[in-house]
A and B are shown apart, each in its own frame.
Chain A
Amino acid sequence: MTYVVWIPFLPLIASIITLLFGRWYIQKRAHWLPCIAVFGSFLLAMKTLIAVIHGARASFDLYSWIIADTFKVGVGFQVDPLSAMMMAMVTCLSFLIHVYSIGYMEDDPGYYRFFAYISLFTFSMLMLVSGNNFLQLFFGWEAVGLCSYLLIGFWYQKKSAADAAKKAFIVNRFGDFGFALGVFLVFLTFGTVYYQPVFEHVHEVAHETIRLFGHDVLLVTLMAVLLFCGSLGKSAQFPLHVWLPDAMEGPTPVSALIHAATMVTAGVFLVCRCHEIFELSNVAMAVVAAAGTFTCFMAATIAPTQFDIKRVIAYSTLSQLGYMFMACGVGAFAAGMFHLFTHAYFKALLFLGAGSVMHAMHHAPDPTDMRYMGGLKKYMPETFWTFLIASLSISGVPGLAGFFSKDEILWSAFASVYPWGKLVWFVGTLVAGLTAFYSFRVVFMTFFGEFRGREVLHGHEPHESPKVMTIPLMILAVGAVVTGWLGVPSALGGSNHFAHFMEPVLGHPHFHLSPALEEHEHLVELLLMGVSTVVGLLGIYIAYVVYCQRPELQRLLPEKCPKLYRYLYRKWYWDEIYLYSIIKPTLFLARGVIQGVLDSACIEGTVNGIPDLIRRGGEGLRKLQNGVVNTYALIMATGAAVVLLLIYLF
């Protein structure tokens, strides 16, 4: 099974060669090498997946990275259902987005740089998911953060892009700090950072406690919560969610790849990989569920107010990631991974579709503003149909992928043994309605009605994107439909292949229904499915009414409840809160205190002050030499007198 090593390394090699030689040799043909490399990785990943389906497993070290007395870690690979699925998904999406970028980034001066970076990103993500120890996970974690920074700030001359890149990296840092502490704690507890021994022995420390700030907390709680901090950062959950909307400054393929399908899902991957630790701590599970639920709800309330098409989809991503954490928080890790899998396809499709629309609108000053779009379905039919399929999928329309994965989460929440399951179910269902509403708001505003952007396009008409962009859209649309069929639950007659596939790694959720419902388990599940479907369809209908039939209703909320509208439009004011509570004090501390006092006064004062003192001392001493002999005699006599005085005194 050692060929899995090539899965991350092919894109790495392509990236390095493109980066080194792209400027002078390859230029316009820079896309060939990365695309071929990623396609090769995809084929290998499929081969691995098939092998794993037939039962193959592997865990081996390629290279000893650090050997320091008791601390040993190496570059290692683990092949099991979880990592095989992730590798296959990442390579598939990465390849499709590479192809899409050929068209999207066509005239960009940094063409070769873009491909080098997304190949590098693919390498990083693959290292993250295929590792067999925490340190490799951490390496991949940081590397994807780096690539995210490079890619968000791809157009680095634009200040807003550079700022967004910094914001992403710094906010992630907060999470990574907790994550690193978690890894340290794992090492301290188990003496190793490899997954296998840690997960085997984690039951032994299930009841150990640590004294923290005067309270006894379970060791596993602390470990899980610290590791979860990393997820908060990487998957942009509350409170570290603020970077994801701003990350839309990057090119759209970047948003599709990194901020929809792969990097932001790394947080979910982490929780699922470490589920044995999380399951031992009710507190940690509650934290996960709470973070997921809150983010899900918050993002879903902000999304309907935004006019930037990419921002709406970004908040949609935040909300769906919340769903995944909600699933993990009620013990349904396989359901969370399933939603991750389906979400990757329809969210990437939504982003790439938006990119296609932006490509058509690129003469406008702000190509993302939906207020200048409309009626595009007759100009861009292929984009329209694929976008529609993705929106139907995310809204949970039965038969499409989103329906199966979302309903599995909702059912697992409702039936969960954890006490917060019902609340999670309720919020999830509510948000499903909101999701449908804002997703179709985008569809109706962009593709239906009259085209509102004639002036901003200076008379040009929008046109469909080239084949190299629309073919990946179509392939993803197929995925958005079909991937759901892997997880058809038994209530509907399927055998939920996905969950069974993941079961050796992720276990199965624990259900607890009240005895009355226990008998009619399947009925309850179907009932819940019906509820969420109705809610979804209701959301679509309301969107249709507001945005197609009676557009004057759009002004209902801004006029009737302006404060609420403003609160939602300004993203619940989190950016402002962070600015005043964290950023300004830190800057004050850094510039005012440390730079002003410590640096300027103390260090500079000493470094400048000592030579200054010496100089002034020297100058002062120089004044003694005034050329008059009598002065010298006086000094000599004074010296003699002082000596006599000292002898007399002592």
Chain B
Amino acid sequence: MIPISWYLVLSLVLFALGAFGFIARRNVIIMLMCIEIMLNAVNISLVALGRGLEDTAAHLLVFFVIAVAAGEAAIGLALVVLLFKKTREVHMDEFRLLKG
């Protein structure tokens, strides 16, 4: 039996990596992928906890997270496509319209 804390640590490491990628990358699509990494990290910890506490609610939450993540990825990519069609640019530091 592997202690749950190991799974949680793994989850946190993945989350930190995903966060780093999200903050540091310029390409929008890679940023969205990093979001998926973060969500997956959360999923790992949820599943581990569900197994440890023997609660179905945790696994069901994973289920919903996956569903929402899929929907969010779809919308996000649609927006990226729109953005690219308008500006032919996918690098985030070129978008400075909110500069103030």
Q: Cβ of A617 < 8 Å from any Cβ of B? A: no
Do A625 and B99 touch across chains, with their CB atoms under 8 A apart?
yes
What residues of chain A lie closer than 8 Å to B93, measured between beta carbons? 628, 630
| Among B23, B26, B92, B100, residue most surrounded by chain A Cβ atoms (within 10 Å) | B23
**CB nearest to A625 among chain B residues:** B100
What residues of chain B lie closer than 8 Å to A625, measured between beta carbons? 98-100
Q: Cβ of A561 < 8 Å from any Cβ of B? A: no
Q: CA–CA, A140 to B23, complex, Å?
A: 83
Q: Cβ of A214 < 8 Å from any Cβ of B? A: no
**Interface digits, B44-75 against A, CB 8 Å rule (1 contact, 0 not)?**
00000000000000000000000000000000
Candidates A622, A627, A633, A634; contact of B95 at CB < 8 Å: A627
Interfacial residues, chain B to chain A (CB-CB below 8 A):
19, 22-26, 31, 92-93, 95-100
What residues of chain B lie closer than 8 Å to A629, measured between beta carbons? 92, 95
Q: CA–CA, A627 to B94, complex, Å?
A: 9
Do B22 and A633 touch across chains, with their CB atoms under 8 A apart?
yes
| Among B24, B93, B97, residue most surrounded by chain A Cβ atoms (within 10 Å) | B93
Q: Cβ of A626 < 8 Å from any Cβ of B? A: yes
Do B100 and A628 touch across chains, with their CB atoms under 8 A apart?
no
Do B23 and A634 touch across chains, with their CB atoms under 8 A apart?
yes
Q: Cβ of A602 < 8 Å from any Cβ of B? A: no
Q: CA–CA, A627 to B93, complex, Å?
A: 8
Candidates A622, A628, A637; contact of B92 at CB < 8 Å: A628
Do B19 and A637 touch across chains, with their CB atoms under 8 A apart?
yes
Chain B nearest CB from A32 CB (Å) reads: 77
Do B23 and A637 touch across chains, with their CB atoms under 8 A apart?
yes
For chain A residues 598-650, which have a beta carbon within 8 Å of chain B? 622, 625-630, 633-634, 637
Q: CA–CA, A634 to B20, complex, Å?
A: 9
Do B19 and A627 touch across chains, with their CB atoms under 8 A apart?
no
**CB nearest to B96 among chain A residues:** A627
Chain A nearest CB from B55 CB (Å) reads: 27
Do A626 and B96 touch across chains, with their CB atoms under 8 A apart?
yes
**CB nearest to A638 among chain B residues:** B23
What residues of chain A lie closer than 8 Å to B22, measured between beta carbons? 630, 633
Q: CA–CA, A279 to B22, complex, Å?
A: 98
Q: CA–CA, A627 to B23, complex, Å?
A: 14
Chain A nearest CB from B17 CB (Å) reads: 13
Interfacial residues, chain A to chain B (CB-CB below 8 A):
622, 625-630, 633-634, 637
What residues of chain A lie closer than 8 Å to B98, measured between beta carbons? 625, 627
Q: Provide 23 A-B residue pairs closer than 8 Å at the C-beta atoms, listed in order of the A residue.
A: A622-B100, A625-B100, A626-B96, A627-B95, A627-B96, A627-B98, A627-B100, A628-B93, A628-B95, A628-B96, A630-B22, A630-B23, A630-B24, A630-B25, A630-B26, A630-B31, A630-B92, A630-B93, A633-B22, A633-B23, A634-B23, A637-B19, A637-B23
**CB nearest to B26 among chain A residues:** A630
Q: CA–CA, A627 to B91, complex, Å?
A: 13
Q: CA–CA, A628 to B24, complex, Å?
A: 11
Do A627 and B24 touch across chains, with their CB atoms under 8 A apart?
no
* Minimum-distance CB pairs A-B, first 3: A627-B96, A627-B99, A627-B98
Q: CA–CA, A626 to B24, complex, Å?
A: 15
Q: CA–CA, A627 to B98, complex, Å?
A: 4
What residues of chain B lie closer than 8 Å to A626, measured between beta carbons? 96, 99
Chain A nearest CB from B77 CB (Å) reads: 16
Q: CA–CA, A627 to B96, complex, Å?
A: 4
What residues of chain B lie closer than 8 Å to A628, measured between beta carbons? 92-93, 95-96
What residues of chain A lie closer than 8 Å to B96, measured between beta carbons? 626-628
Chain B nearest CB from A634 CB (Å) reads: 5
| Among A622, A626, A628, A634, residue most surrounded by chain B Cβ atoms (within 10 Å) | A628
Q: CA–CA, A637 to B38, complex, Å?
A: 13
**CB nearest to B20 among chain A residues:** A637
Q: CA–CA, A629 to B31, complex, Å?
A: 11
What residues of chain A lie closer than 8 Å to B23, measured between beta carbons? 630, 633-634, 637
Q: CA–CA, A204 to B31, complex, Å?
A: 99
What residues of chain A lie closer than 8 Å to B24, measured between beta carbons? 630
Chain A nearest CB from B83 CB (Å) reads: 12
| Among A625, A626, A629, A634, residue most surrounded by chain B Cβ atoms (within 10 Å) | A629
**CB nearest to A628 among chain B residues:** B93
A-B contact sample (9 more), CB < 8 A, given A625-B99, A627-B97, A633-B22: A622-B100, A625-B100, A626-B96, A626-B99, A627-B98, A627-B100, A628-B92, A630-B23, A633-B23
Q: CA–CA, A628 to B31, complex, Å?
A: 13
Q: CA–CA, A625 to B98, complex, Å?
A: 8
Q: CA–CA, A622 to B99, complex, Å?
A: 9
Chain A nearest CB from B94 CB (Å) reads: 9
What residues of chain A lie closer than 8 Å to B92, measured between beta carbons? 628-630
Q: CA–CA, A226 to B94, complex, Å?
A: 82
Chain B nearest CB from A191 CB (Å) reads: 72
Chain A nearest CB from B98 CB (Å) reads: 4
Chain B nearest CB from A623 CB (Å) reads: 10
Q: CA–CA, A625 to B95, complex, Å?
A: 12
Chain A nearest CB from B93 CB (Å) reads: 5
Q: CA–CA, A185 to B4, complex, Å?
A: 89
Chain B nearest CB from A164 CB (Å) reads: 64
Chain A nearest CB from B76 CB (Å) reads: 12
Chain A nearest CB from B72 CB (Å) reads: 16
Chain B nearest CB from A487 CB (Å) reads: 94
**CB nearest to A622 among chain B residues:** B100
Chain A nearest CB from B61 CB (Å) reads: 22
What residues of chain A lie closer than 8 Å to B99, measured between beta carbons? 625-627
Q: CA–CA, A634 to B19, complex, Å?
A: 9
**CB nearest to B19 among chain A residues:** A637
Chain B nearest CB from A211 CB (Å) reads: 70
| Among A622, A630, A634, residue most surrounded by chain B Cβ atoms (within 10 Å) | A630
What residues of chain B lie closer than 8 Å to A630, measured between beta carbons? 22-26, 31, 92-93
Chain A nearest CB from B36 CB (Å) reads: 15
**CB nearest to B99 among chain A residues:** A627
Chain A nearest CB from B31 CB (Å) reads: 8
What residues of chain A lie closer than 8 Å to B19, measured between beta carbons? 637
What residues of chain B lie closer than 8 Å to A627, measured between beta carbons? 95-100
Q: CA–CA, A625 to B26, complex, Å?
A: 17
Q: CA–CA, A12 to B24, complex, Å?
A: 88
Chain A nearest CB from B23 CB (Å) reads: 5
**CB nearest to B93 among chain A residues:** A628
